Amino acid sequence: MPIGDEILTAIALACSLSVGVAAMFMLFFFNRRLKMIVNEKTANLEAELVERKKREDDLEMKNAELERFAYTVSHDLKSPIITIKGFTGALEKDLLKGNYERMTGDLKRVSAAADKMSDLLNDLLQISTVGRVVNTSEAVDMNLLASDVLAQLAGPLKNSAVKVTVQPDLPKLFCDRKRIAEVLQNLFENAINYMGDQSDPKILFGVRVESGVKVFFVQDNGIGVDPKYQQNIFGLFNKLDAKSSGTGIGLALVKRIVEVHGGRVWVESDGIGKGSRFCFTVG
Amino acid sequence: MSGEPLTVLLVEDNPDHAELVMRNMADFNVVNTIIHLEDGEAALDYLHGRGIYADRKQYPMPHLMLLDLRLPKVDGLDVLKEVKSDAALRPLPVVILTTSAAERDIAMAYEYHANSYVTKPVTFDDFSRLLRDLGFYWLAWNKRPW
Structural domains of chain A, ranges and CATH numbers in brackets: 1-129 (1.10.287.130), 138-280 (3.30.565.10)
A82-119 burial, b if ≥16 CB within 10 A, otherwise e? bbbbbbbbbbeebeeeeeeeeeeebeebbebbeebbee
For residue A274, give the nearest of A237, A219, A228, A235 by alpha carbon: A219
Mutate to test the interface with B, among A85, A97, A237 (most CBs of B within 10 A): A85
Q: Rounded to whole angstroms, how far apart are CA atoms A201 and A164?
A: 9
Give the model confidence (pLDDT) of B65-84 as tens digits: 999 998 888 889 999 999 99
Q: Rounded to whole angstroms, how far apart are CA atoms A246 and A236?
A: 12
- How distant is the Cα of A95 from the closest Cα of chain B, in angstroms? 14
Q: Has the ipTM of the complex gone over 0.90? A: no
Do residue B20 and residue A87 have CB atoms under 8 angstroms apart? yes
Structure-model confidence comparison of residues A122 and B80, the more confident one: B80
For residue A179, give the nearest of A109, A86, A282, A273 by alpha carbon: A282
Domain B7-139 has CATH 3.40.50.2300: yes
Strand locations in A149-220, DSSP E?
A: 163-166, 172-175, 202-210, 213-220
Give the model confidence (pLDDT) of B89-137 as tens digits: 999 999 999 998 888 899 999 999 999 999 999 988 999 999 999 988 9
pLDDT confidence of residue B1: 44
Give the model confidence (pLDDT) of A174-206 as tens digits: 999 988 999 999 999 989 988 888 889 999 999
pLDDT confidence of residue A12: 78
Q: Are the beta carbons of A180 and A173 closer than 8 angstroms?
A: yes
pLDDT band at A131 (very low <50, low <70, confident <90, very high): low
Task: List the single residue in B70, B100, B124 with the smallest CB-CB distance to A85.
Answer: B124
Gyration radius from chain B CA atoms: 14
Summary mean pLDDT of chain A: 87
What 3-state class would DSSP assign to B117? strand
* Chain A residues with CB-CB distance to B17 below 8 A: 79, 82-83, 86
- How distant is the Cα of B95 from the closest Cα of chain A, in angstroms? 18
Q: Rounded to whole angstroms, how far apart are CA atoms B15 and B97?
A: 14
Burial class (CB within 10 angstroms; exposed 0-12, middle 13-18, buried 19+) of B15: middle
CA angle B73, B77, B78 (to 5 degrees): 55
pTM (2 d.p.): 0.70
Do residue B127 and residue A242 have CB atoms under 8 angstroms apart? no
- CA quadruple B131, B77, A270, A220: dihedral sign: negative
- What are the CA-CA distances from residue B51 to residues A171, B38, B65, B123 (Å)? 47, 16, 20, 38
| Domain chopping of chain B, boundaries | 7-139
* Chain A residues with CB-CB distance to B72 below 8 A: 238-242
Task: List the single residue in A89, A109, A113 with the smallest CB-CB distance to B123.
Answer: A89
Summary mean pLDDT of chain B: 91
Strand locations in B54-141, DSSP E?
A: 64-67, 94-98, 116-119
What is chain B's length?
146
Instruction: Say which amino acid occupies A222.
Output: G
Closest alpha carbon within chain B to A227: B73
Contacts for A129 with CB less than 8 Å, ≥ 6 apart: none
pLDDT band at A264 (very low <50, low <70, confident <90, very high): very high
Phi-psi region of A252 (alpha: psi -120 to 50; beta: other; left: phi over 0): alpha
What 3-state class would DSSP assign to A37? helix
Q: Rounded to whole angstroms, how far apart are CA atoms A206 and A186?
A: 16
* Chain B residues with CB-CB distance to A242 below 8 A: 13-15, 38-39, 72
Q: Assess whether pLDDT exceeds 70 at residue A106.
A: yes
Do residue B120 and residue A82 have CB atoms under 8 angstroms apart? yes
Closest alpha carbon within chain B to A229: B73
